[in-house]
Amino acid sequence: MLKEVTITILVDNLAREGLAVEHGFAVLVEAGGRKILFDTGQTGAVLGANADALGADLSGVEAMVLSHGHYDHTGGMPLALARAPGAAVWCHPGVFAPRWSVRDGQPREIGMPPAAREALTALPDGRLRRVTAPVPAVPGVWITGPVPRLDPFEDTGGPFFLDPGGTKPDLLPDDLSLWMETPEGTVVLTGCCHAGLMNTLMLVRNRTGGRPLRALFGGFHLVNAGDRRMARTLETLRTLNPALIVPCHCTGEAAVGVLQGAFGEKVTPGAAGGMMRF
């Protein structure tokens, strides 16, 4: 059980005044006196500038966790490792897969940028931790590992493929999230949640013995969610009843509106510079 958890959004698709903005996501978690960086944004420039502007010292980060291998979560890795040269990096081995988004036959490369790939492969033995099952990155801060895809209405949320021709669907097996145990309940932090929000919350619920959900943060990737999936998502959230929902990054404007309509003031859209304490 963690006595105090602080979550600071460093990179997001929205930003408070004076901070840099990009399509990407990075969050600093301070838990029990330890620092964890969850994702690194698309460019180190935005991560570095916002960390400086917010006075967030990354040098003490001991664990970095990659939610998945997309460029907008991994691109800032060289800068992150330059600032925290001793950190271990936790990720699913699938983060290195080459991957594309293919819309109307037009492929766009969206995998991990080469510089991030090089930075990770250059890590000394033991500093790259492969996550294939739930595991704590530091005491009390758990990585889900791969999330079983049980809900029939959830999918990865986009036209994702392992080849530019768009013939091999990318199921994003590397997608993972974090959860933290606080006295008031569990705090869940997602990256893009390509595994699905309901699937992710079910895993966390099973692993935490059904403890109450205190807060839910992150990219929920509901941009392409159909009505049925959205309705089931709302139903799940009503049942779990978190006191705070912070949709960020790739949740989608329409989905944020639906969440606000359903949960009112419990929903606070995230932005770089946002900070919450538990």
What CA–CA distances, in Å, run from 178 to 66, 195, 204, 209?
10, 13, 9, 16
Task: Give 159: exposed, middle or buried? Use CB within 10 Å, 0-12, 13-18, 19+.
Answer: middle
Contacts of 183 (CB under 8 A, 6+ apart): 1, 3
Comparing CB distances to Fe ion, the nearer of 70 and 214 is 70
Strand partners, 97: none
Task: Report the nearest approach of Fe ion to the CB of residue 164 (Å).
Answer: 17
3-state secondary structure of 168: coil
By beta carbon distance, the residue nearest Fe ion is 192
Comparing CB distances to Fe ion, the nearer of 63 and 110 is 110
Task: Report the nearest approach of Fe ion to the CB of residue 53 (Å).
Answer: 22
Comparing CB distances to Fe ion, the nearer of 51 and 248 is 248
Enumerate binding residues for Fe ion (CB under 5 A): 70, 72, 192, 250
Task: Report the nearest approach of Fe ion to the CB of residue 157 (Å).
Answer: 8
Task: Report the nearest approach of Fe ion to the CB of residue 32 (Å).
Answer: 28
Q: Where are the beta strands (DSSP E) in 66-198?
A: 88-91, 100-103, 106-109, 128-130, 135-138, 141-143, 160-161, 178-182, 185-190
Q: In what order do the strands lie in the sheet with 244-248?
A: 135-138, 141-143, 178-182, 185-190, 213-219, 244-248
Comparing CB distances to Fe ion, the nearer of 192 and 203 is 192
Comparing CB distances to Fe ion, the nearer of 2 and 192 is 192
Task: Report the nearest approach of Fe ion to the CB of residue 55 (Å).
Answer: 26
Pairing mode, if any, of strands 141-143 and 178-182? antiparallel
Comparing CB distances to Fe ion, the nearer of 11 and 63 is 11
Task: Report the nearest approach of Fe ion to the CB of residue 224 (Å).
Answer: 12
Q: What amino acid occupies position 258?
A: V
